[in-house]
Amino acid sequence: MLGPFLLWPLTRTNALGVLVTAARRLAGLERVRRAVFFGDRFPEHYRASDQKVLRYVAVRAYSGMLCGVVIGLLGFGTVLAVLLARGIVRQSVHWDELPIQLLLGGVLLFLDIQGLRSLTALDARIARDCFGPSEEELLQRRILELATSRAAVVQAVDTERRRIERDLHDGIQQRLVALGMLLGRARRKRSPEQADALLRQAHRESQDILAELREVTWRVYPSALDTLGLKEALGGVSERCGIPVRTEFDVGGPLPQPVETAAYFVVSESVNNAAKHSRATAVAVRVVLRGRVLAVRVQDNGRGGANPAGSGLSGLRSRVAALDGVLHVDSPAGGPTTITAELPCA
């Protein structure tokens, strides 16, 4: 109906806009039809390009006409079947003609059914291509997500390496230097009492250094994950935390090792942040396996205001995104702070 507008010089400049507008309205009606009669669900905020909408309307028009032809042939075959049955009842059709009539009718029915099935599949496919991202767009989006996730993982690993190096240099290395100085002073003391006091101080310092070194290695990767599992490793987080931590663990089966590691670091980093920065007095941890998704939730009663763009939370988001998971941070001013992570286990 809009074809003549393309040939009318007075409206030629606006013909494409009018055509696209009409095509979008028809496509909107088709989208509603697919949703009502076939239960299709398409992305709400996806907007197809003008070329995609015009292509959809054109292909849908031709497939609709072809579908009308197939249905017409089906109706024609039904009429022939009724006439054949009437002829058999009236004995106007000879029995030697019946096999040929049945063969032709069966072939026509088969072609009609196959045609309807093919047109139904074509209708669904072109609707998915128009009202949602195509396979090429999904592939490009997936490539972009993987590239972004890889870059984020590399950055998170580099940040973690720098933190470990800083902990070793500013913490353990300085304490080892102090320990060496104590031992040197003990060797130079001629009084046994003073030397004994310095040795006792050096012994206490060595025990503190071992505890700090154990803490650093635990933050790098807890050995309890390999030996005892995620539940016991989370119990170790609760024991080392300076505030009460209530842990609910509901996981019925084994988890993949990368998922266990990511879940542990989500809980460990969240609990440590709550103890150091939020002035919280209690933390609740909940780890639940829902189908093939591990849901991790950490909530504290602190003052809130956590920055999702901070180095710690950004590293957690990168670690979770590397497993196709999602990390949410809800920390309004005044609290509480809630950190949730969803980790697919498939």
Please tell me whether the overall predicted TM-score, pTM, comes out greater than 0.85 for this model. no
| Residue 167: alpha-carbon gap to chain centroid | 33
Closest residue by Cα to residue 296 from 234, 339, 237, 346:
339
Select the highest-mean-pLDDT range: 124-128, 135-139, 178-182, 306-310: 124-128
3-state percent breakdown (helix, strand, coil) of the chain, nearest 5 = 70, 10, 20
Amino acid at 188: R
Q: Given CA atoms 306, 307, 311, 315 in this order, what sign does their dihedral have?
A: positive
Q: What is the pLDDT of residues 202-253, one digit of tens each?
A: 888 787 777 777 666 656 666 667 777 888 888 887 887 778 888 888 888 7
CA distances 272 to 8, 197, 226, 238, 298, Å, are: 72, 36, 22, 10, 11
Give percent of the chain above pLDDT 90.
2
Residue 294 has pLDDT above 70, yes or no: yes
Task: Tell me the two tokens of residue 240.
Answer: 């080392």
- Tell me: pLDDT of 163 over 80: no
Please tell me the distance from the alpha carbon of residue 298 to that of residue 283, in angstroms, as a whole number: 7
pLDDT value for 124: 85
The more confidently predicted of residues 64 and 176 is 64
The per-residue pLDDT for 11 is 60
pLDDT at 220: 62
Indicate whether 7 pLDDT > 60: no
> Can you tell me the distance from the alpha carbon of 174 to that of 50, in angstroms, rounded to the nearest whole number?
66
CA 313, 314, 319, 320: dihedral to nearest 10 degrees? 70
Tell me the average pLDDT across 5-23: 68
For residue 290, give the 3-state DSSP assignment. strand
Integer Cα distance of 339 and 321 in angstroms: 15
Stretch 289-303: mean pLDDT, rounded? 88
Mean pLDDT of all residues belonging to the chain: 79
Is the bond leading into 336 cis (omega within 30 degrees of zero)? yes
Instruction: Provide the pLDDT for residue 193.
Output: 78
CB 283, CB 298: distance < 8 Å: yes
* Assigned CATH topology for domain 228-344: Heat Shock Protein 90 (3.30.565)
Among residues 261, 244, 300, 296, which one has the least CA distance to residue 160? 261
Residue 170 in this model has a pLDDT that exceeds 80: no
Residues 67-85 pLDDT 10s? 899 898 888 888 888 887 8
Average pLDDT over residues 46-54: 81
Output the six-digit token pair for 183: 């031992």
Report pLDDT for 297. Answer: 92
